[in-house]
Every structure is written in C-alpha cells, then in structure tokens.
Amino acid sequence: MKILAFNCGSSTLKFQLVEVERKETSLGQERRLAYGTIDRIGSQGAIQITAENGVSLSEVTSVADHSEATRQVLEWLRDKELLGHESPVAVGHRVVHGGDRFSEPILINDDVIKGIEAVGHLAPLHNEPALSAIRATRAILGSAVPQVAVFDTAFHRTLPERTAKYAIPMGLAEKHNIRRYGFHGLAHRQRQGV
C-alpha cells in the first residue's frame, strides 16, 4: 500500500511516497518510491523530484503557492505512473502548530481543518501552507482518501507544567495561550525510535 507524506514549510514543500507491505511492519520496512522538494514557493522556484525507478525532474519554474505545489507533485506522481489509477491509501501532513487543541496525530475532517485555522496565528508562516496542501490533496484525491495531521508541537505536550510556563504574569499567559509548546517534535520522535 502506498502512503504519501507532505511537509510544508513557509516557502517549501517536501514530500515522500512510500510503499509498505500490507502486513504489520516495523521501522525501515517501507520502500521509498519517490521524494522531492519544491523550493521558493511564491517566486521563481526550483523543483527537484526523484523516483526509485531513476526518473527525475529538476527545473526552475514559478510556483504560486502550496496548493499549486501540491497539485504539481500529485500530477507528476500520476504522470510517472507511481500512483497509477490508484490513490495512496493515506496522506500524512506535518503541521507545525497544534496549539492546545491537538496533542496527537488526528484524522483530518472539516472540524480539524477549522481547528488548525483557529490556531494558525501561532504559526502563520507554516500552518497556512499546510492547510493549503491539505485542501489541495482533498480536492484532487477526494475525501475518501484519509488524511492525517501530525503536529510538531504534540511531542512536547508532556512537558511538566513548571517547564511549560514562562516567567510572565499568569493572566497574560492564559489570555494569549502563551506557553512552551516545543517545536521540531517530529524530529525528536523519529530519532527516539531509531
């Protein structure tokens, strides 16, 4: 089964398409079918995509936004028959900030999209691009393909309360949801499992 993962930065989109066996797998048993990066989204950008079969794409082009970047990736995967007529069985999206609403990976639906929008002010340069990729993926693949949001901030949600608080007035912190959320949690989680 094929799983597609998107990682949107403020001006980049990275992706991987992996194939895993249908039986239960452990770390390292997936096969990477394709991966790539679209850089400098919103200006004269660069696309670098490589497939396991040796097919690649490297070009300088203008990519307007993360929606267009997502569409280009999906079109390329289909054009090179890496998806064929089938869609991936699931799509994962790295989302930088889950605020106090999201503390673990979650299946994306309309309410989750609204929740990510609601905490978007906490990471405006990152959450909006992730939402653009989520919406574009849903529009292209349809709502039958499950999408999951995985939050960078979720890994650090177990910080002790004394560590999560800043040395500022409690009322100010509560009013504006100011706390240590911790970032790059996905990188920490990955290294732990190795």
Tokens 């039958």, located at residue: 144
Question: Measured in whole angstroms, how far is the alpha carbon of residue 87 from the centre of its chain?
Answer: 18
Average pLDDT score over the chain: 87
SS (H, E, C) 53-111: CCCEEEEEEECCCHHHHHHHHHHHHHHCCCCCCCCCCEEEEEECCCCCCCCCCEECCHH
Cα gap 110→116, rounded to integer Å? 10
Nearest to 154 by CA among 191, 108, 193, 186: 186
Number of neighbouring beta carbons within 10 Å of residue 58:
10
User: What pLDDT does residue 113 have?
Assistant: 97
pLDDT at residue 75 is higher than 70: yes
Cα gap 41→72, rounded to integer Å? 12
- pLDDT tens digit string along 113-166? 999 999 998 889 999 999 999 999 999 999 999 999 999 887 777 778 888 888
Average pLDDT over residues 157-177: 85
Domains within the chain, CATH numbers bracketed:
2-193 (3.30.420.40)
User: What pLDDT does residue 178 have?
Assistant: 81
Please, which pLDDT band fits residue 176 given cuts at 50, 70 and 90? confident
172 Cβ neighbours under 8 A, 6+ residues apart: 178
Please, which pLDDT band fits residue 66 given cuts at 50, 70 and 90? very high
pLDDT at residue 22 is higher than 70: no
Catalytic residue among 79, 110, 111, 152: 152
Cα gap 181→69, rounded to integer Å? 29
Element at 1 (helix H, strand E): none
DSSP 87: P
pLDDT winner (highest mean) among 3-17, 20-34, 86-100, 173-187: 3-17
CB 51 within 8 A of CB 34: yes
pLDDT at residue 180 is higher than 90: no
194 Cβ neighbours under 8 A, 6+ residues apart: 27
**Residue 164, burial from CB neighbour count under 10 angstroms (0-12, 13-18, 19+):** middle
pLDDT at residue 193 is higher than 50: no
Asked if 111 is an active-site residue, the reply is no
